[in-house]
Structure 1
Amino acid sequence: MITDQNPGWHLRHKYQDLPDIFYSSVGPTEVAQSKIVLFNETLAEELGLDDTLLRQLPDIFTGNQLPDESKPIAQAYAGHQFASFTMLGDGRAVLLGEQQADDGRLYDIQLKGAGRTPYSRGGDGRAALGPMLREYLISESMHGLGVPTSRGLAVATTGEKVYREEVLPGAVLTRVADSHIRVGTFQYARQWGSKQDLQALADYTIDRHYPEIAEDENKYLSFLHKVAERQAALIAKWQLVGFIHGVMNTDNVAISGQTIDYGPCAFMDRYDRQTVFSSIDLERRYAYGNQPEIGAWNMARFAESLLILIDEEEEKALPQAKEVIQNYLSLVESYWLDGMRAKLGIVDKTDEDKVLIERLLNLMEQHRADFTNTFRALTLLQFDPASRLFQAKAFQTWFQEWQSKLALQSMTVTEAYQLMKQHNPSVIPRNYLVEKVLDEAVSNNDYQPLYDLLAVMQNPYAYTEMQEAYAADPPDEAYQTFCGT
C-alpha cells in the first residue's frame, strides 16, 4: 500500500532464512547530505513504488533513512579473481531487502557505496560519483539493448569526499537485481560451510529462480544445467552487441543469469577479438574473444561447488557435471549463431551460415571496421565511401553472396531488413561519449548530456533522427577503464 509515509515498499527478507554464515546484519553508514541526481521512474513503477513520493525522500537512497520493514545485511561470498581464490563479501554494499512487486516477483534492493561492512577488508566502503553514474548508465543501456542486467533505481550524492588516486565526490547507487546470489556464494558455502549450508543455499536459489525443477529426480544436476544455459545465453548476447565485461571473476557471475557488477566494462568499437579495456587485465584474460571460454571456466567452478549435492559420492557426480560443462561452449555458439543470423536477416538456416558470418567478421577485423556501425550500414544499406572495408573487393564479393541468400529466403528481403533493425542497434553507449557525459556531470555538475544519452539508449533499435548524432564512428584514440573501488 502507498501512503504518505510509505511509497509502496513491500520488503521481504527471505535470504535471511538461510544459515547466518551467509550474511552479516549491518546498516548503512550515515552521510552528510543526500541529493538524488538520477532517478529511474520506469523501474520504480515496475517495482510498485510511487516515484513522486520517492523523489521527496533522498535519504532513502544514501541509507540515512531506511524503508519501512528494512533489515539491512551484507552478503558473504568468495570468488576466483583473475583465477586466484579468495574470501570476499559485500565490502561496500548493503541489501535493504527484497521488494515484492505486484506480480509477486522478488527484487533485491541494494545500496552500493553505503559504508563499511565486516567484509570491507580495510576499504572505506564508499563509492565515487563517477563509477556509480557509469554503472547506472551502462546497466540501463544494456537493458535497452535487451541484455539481462541488474539496474539502477537511483544515484544520490552524499555531500562527502572519497579518497582514491584523487579526491572525488561520493555517491550511492541503489541497485536492483533479481538477486545478488553469485557463483562465488556457492564457492563460499562449499569452502567454509557444511553440506547442509550448501544445500540450504541451493534449495533457496532453486525456489527463487528455477522453481520448475524443484521436483526433478536430481534437481541439483538440473540446477547446474539451468544456470549454464542462462549464462551461455547471456554471454552470447554480450558478444552480439560487442560488450566486454572486463572482470569476469566468479564473484561477478550472477546465478540468475543477469549481468552484474559493472566495473571496468566497455563496448568494443573496432572489431578485434583481443580487445581489452581494463587497466588491470594485463594478460587479456577477459578479452572480448575470450568471454565464452571464461564463462565455461566459471561454470566449471560452479559445478565443483555442487558435486556433493549431485551425488554423495563426488566421483560419480563428476562425469555428469563434466558433460554439462563440455556442452556449454556449444550452447554459447548456438545462441550466438542464431543471433548473428538475425543481425544479417537470415531466417532459413543452413550449415554454410557460420562460414558466411565468419568471413564477414574476418574482413571487419582485417580492415579495423567498427563493429556496431558495420551492421548498422548493412541494415540501412548505407556505406561510407571512405571505408576500407566497404571498398575491399573481398567485401563486395561477400556482399553479393549475402544478397543472393536473402533473395532466396522464405521471407521477403524487406522483411529481412526489418528483422535486422530489431537486432542491430543504431547506437551503443560509445566509450568516448560515456566519458564525456560523466565528466560534465562530475566536474561541471551538468547532468543534461547524461540525461540525453540515457534517453537515446532507452530504445537503441529505434533508428531515430535523434540517434544520428550518437552513431558516428568514434575518434581513433586509446581507451582504458578502471575499477571503481
Structure 2
Amino acid sequence: MNAVIHDSPAVVPGLAWNNRFAGLGPDFFTELPPTPLPSPYWVSRNQALAGEMGLAQPWFESQEALALFTGNRVAQGARPLSSVYSGHQFGQWAGQLGDGRAILLGELQTAAGAQEIQLKGAGVTPYSRMGDGRAVLRSSIREYLCSEAMHGLGIPTTRALCVTGSDAKVRREEIETAAVVTRTAPSFIRFGHFEHFSYSDQHEQLKVLADFVIDNFYPACREGAQPYASLLQAVSERTADLVAAWQGVGFCHGVMNTDNMSILGLTIDYGPFQFLDAFDPGQVCNHSDTQGRYAYNKQPNIAYWNLFCLGQALLPLMDSQEQALAALESYKTVFPQALEGRMRAKLGLSDARPEDKTLIESAFKLLAADKVDYSIFWRRLGGFVPGAANEAVRDLFLDRPAFDAWALQYSERLAHVDQGLRADLMLKTNPKYVLRNHLGEQAIQAAKVMDFSGVDTLLTLLQAPFDEHTAHGSFAGFPPDWASSIEISCSS
C-alpha cells in the first residue's frame, strides 16, 4: 500500500514554529517534505521530554501527532529541509555528505527553549547517496533509548521524542521494517557543515554559518579579539568535556567521523555504540571499524583530530594558522582535567589531592587486567569500607592480591574523606543502569513482534539510572554469555 501525505497541515497546539536554519539560505539545504510511510503506529513516546517541551499530552497521543512524527503530515508553520555538509569518515575525506535520511521540520519555541525537531528515517533526500533514506526499527530503538540514557547520565546529547513504526520493508543485512525516530536538539549543526563550505571555497557561506552559530549559541565569542578563533576554542572545550564524560561512564561512540561531531558539544548520531561490559580499553564497538580507529581508548585523540579538522575549516576566517592552533590548545588542558574530575567523583572524592591521578590510573589498570565489569565495579565500590574485606568488590577480580593492594591505597586516601558524603556522591555518580547491548537487543526482539513494553521499561530505568528501581534489579546484572557475540555495524 502506498502512503500519501495529508494535504491539511498538522497543528502543534500552544507552540510556534521558527525556522532559523532555513533563514541561512538555499546554499545550506534543500527544502522537501518527508516521504510518508503506510499504516504507521506508535512504538514509544517519551512523555517526560514531551512535558518538558510543553507538548499537550492528549495531542501527543493523537493520530495527528502520529502522522506528523512519521512524516505523513507537515506541520503548519514548519519548513521541512535536509541540510548539506561534508566530512572526514574513518580518517579519509569523504566529500559532500548531508542529511541522507533526516529531515529537519523546523524549530519549536518550547518550554525548554528553542528546539529543532528532526525526523530520522523520513525518506530519500538529495544527500542519500544511493541509500533508501529509511531507518529500521532496530536502529531507531537503539538511538531512542541511548540518547535518553545519556541525558539521564547528565551527558550532553541530542534527545528523542518518540519512535513510530510501519510494516514497510527495508533491506539491510536482512529484510527489516521501517521506523522513524524524532530527534530534538538546540541545533544539529556539525563540524562537517563548516568543512563543506571551506573545502568548496564558499567562504562567504562559511562566514554566514559561523556568524549564525556564534550569534545564536556562543555569543560570548563576539567579545574576543578574533571571534572565530574564540568559537574554535569554545567548541574545543565543550568537546573535551563531552569526551571526558564518555570515558568516565564507559561509553564508546562507534563512528566519530567529523560529520558526526556536534558544534554544540552534544553526543549525536547513535549508530554503532556501546557501554562497556568487561573493561577493555581497546574495545571497538563498530563491527565495520576493522582498523579499530574508534576504540574506547582512542576516543580522546580522535576528538582532537576532529577538532583539528574543524580548525582547518575555519582558517579562512582567521588571521593565521597560529591562531587556530592556539585555540585548539585548550583541549589538551581541559580534557585531562575534566576526566580526572569525573573519575575523582566516581571514587567519591570531593576534593583534589596530588595522589589522585595515580589512584585513578591504577584503578583503570586493575580493571583492564581482569576485564572487570565496568558499571558493576563502580556501583559496588560505593559500598566500600576502609579496612573491611569488601567481598562484593573484591570478588569481581581474579587477581585478589592486586585488588587488595589497590584497596589499601584507596583506603589511605579515604582517611581524609567523610564516608557518608563519599557514599552519597558515589551513588549519584555511578549509575546502576546503563544501556547494555543485550538489554537493547532484548527490547528490539520483543518490538519486532509488536511488544513494546521492553522499550518503555528501559526508557523509565535509563531516565533515572542512579535510582535503585528494586523491581527491575535484573537489568543491572551481569550480561549473559551471548552478549559478547552481538555485532553492531554502520549498515542501519
Question: Which bracket does the TM-score occupy, shorter chain normalised?
Answer: over 0.9
Q: Is the 8 A contact 1:7 1:54 kept in 2?
A: no
Between the aligned partners of 2:201 and 2:14, the Cα distance in structure 1 is 36
Aligned to 2:432: 426
Q: 1:385 to 1:265 in 2, by over 3 A?
A: closer
**Greater CA deviation, 156-165 or 290-299?**
156-165
Q: Is the 8 A contact 1:62 1:111 kept in 2?
A: yes
Superposition CA RMSD, Å: 1.7
2:485 equivalent in structure 1:
478
Quote the offset at 1:255 in angstroms.
0.4
CA contact (8 A) 1:390 1:396 kept: no
Aligned equivalents of 1:330, 1:380: Cα separation in 2: 32
CA separation of 1:235 and 1:286: change in aligned 2, threshold 3 A = same
Equivalent pair of 1:426/1:467 in contact (CA under 8 Å): no
In structure 2, the CA distance between the partners of 1:352 and 1:390, relative to structure 1 (3 Å rule), is farther
Do residues 453 (structure 1) and 458 (structure 2) align? Answer: yes
1:64 is paired with a residue whose SS is coil
- Determine if the alignment matches structure 1 residue 169 to structure 2 residue 158: no
| In structure 1, C-alpha distance between the alignment counterparts of 2:471 and 2:234, rounded to whole Å | 40
Choose from 21, 32, 46 the match for 1:26: 32
Q: Give the Å deviation of 1:165.
A: 2.0
Deviation at 1:19, TM superposition (A): 3.3
Query: 1:30 Cα deviation (Å)?
Result: 2.0
Q: 1:236 and 1:325, CA in 2 relative to 1: closer, same or farther beyond 3 A?
A: same
Q: Aligned-pair distance for 1:187?
A: 0.1
Q: 1:9 aligns with which of 4, 15, 19?
A: 15
Of stretches 227-236 and 50-59 in structure 1, the one that deviates more from structure 2 is 50-59
Please say if residues 342 and 420 of structure 1, whose CA atoms lie closer than 8 Å, have aligned partners that are also in contact.
Answer: yes
SS of the residue aligned with 1:154?
A: strand
- The 8 Å contact of residues 116 and 126 in structure 1, kept in 2 or not, is answered as yes
Deviation string, structure 1 residues 408-465 (Cα, Å, up to 9, x no partner): 23xx1111111111111112111111111111111x2111122112111111111342
Q: 1:364 to 1:102 in 2, by over 3 A?
A: closer
Tell whether the 8 Å contact from 1:150 to 1:175 is kept in structure 2 after alignment.
yes
Contact preservation (8 Å) 1:345, 1:419 = yes
State the shift of 1:48 in Å.
2.1
Secondary structure at the aligned position of 1:256 is classed as coil
Q: Report the Cα distance in structure 2 between the residues aligned to 1:47 and 1:268, rounded to whole angstroms.
A: 32
Instruction: Name the SS of the counterpart of 1:173 in structure 2.
Output: strand
1:385·1:391 contact (CA, 8 Å) conserved in 2?
A: no
1:157 maps to amino acid: G
Establish whether residue 218 from structure 1 lines up as the match of residue 226 from structure 2: yes
1:92 Cα shift? 0.8
Query: Which residue of structure 2 lines up, in the alignment, with residue 98 of structure 1?
Result: 107
Q: Work out whether residues 384 and 390 of structure 1, in 8 Å CA contact, stay in contact via their aligned partners in 2.
A: no
Q: Tell me if structure 2 keeps the 8 A contact 1:25–1:73.
A: yes
Structure 1 residue 134, shift from structure 2 partner: 1.0
SS in structure 1 of the partner of residue 140 of structure 2: helix
Q: 2:90 corresponds to which letter in structure 1?
A: F
Q: Deviations over 1:120-179 (max 9, x none)?
A: 111111111111111001111111111111111111113311112211111111111121
Whole-angstrom distance in 1 between the partners of 2:38 and 2:479:
39
Equivalences for 1:278-317 in 2 at 5 Å?
278-311=286-319, 317=320
SS of equivalent to 2:301? helix
| Conservation of the 8 A alpha-carbon contact between 1:343 and 1:375 | yes
Q: 1:15 to 1:333 in 2, by over 3 A?
A: same
Structure 1 equivalent of residue 356 of structure 2? 353
- Which whole-Å CA distance do the structure 2 matches of 1:347 and 1:6 have between them? 45
Structure-2 separation of matches of 1:465 and 1:336:
30
Identical residues among aligned pairs (%): 39
Q: 1:88 deviation in Å?
A: 0.2
Shift in alpha-carbon separation, 1:150–1:242, aligned structure 2, 3 A: same
* CA distance in structure 2 between the partners assigned to 1:50 and 1:256 by the alignment: 28
Preserved contact between residue 95 and residue 108 of structure 1 (Cα < 8 Å)? yes
CA deviations 1:182-217 (Å, max 9, x no partner) are: 000000011225221111000101122112222322
2:322 alignment partner, one of 314, 319, 322: 319
Does structure 1 conserve the Cα–Cα contact (< 8 Å) formed by 2:137 and 2:165? yes
Count of residues in correspondence between the two structures: 473
Distance 1:484 1:209 in 2: 33
SS at 1:85 equivalent = strand
Counterpart in the other structure of 1:396? 404
Q: 1: distance between equivalents of 2:75 and 2:228? A: 36
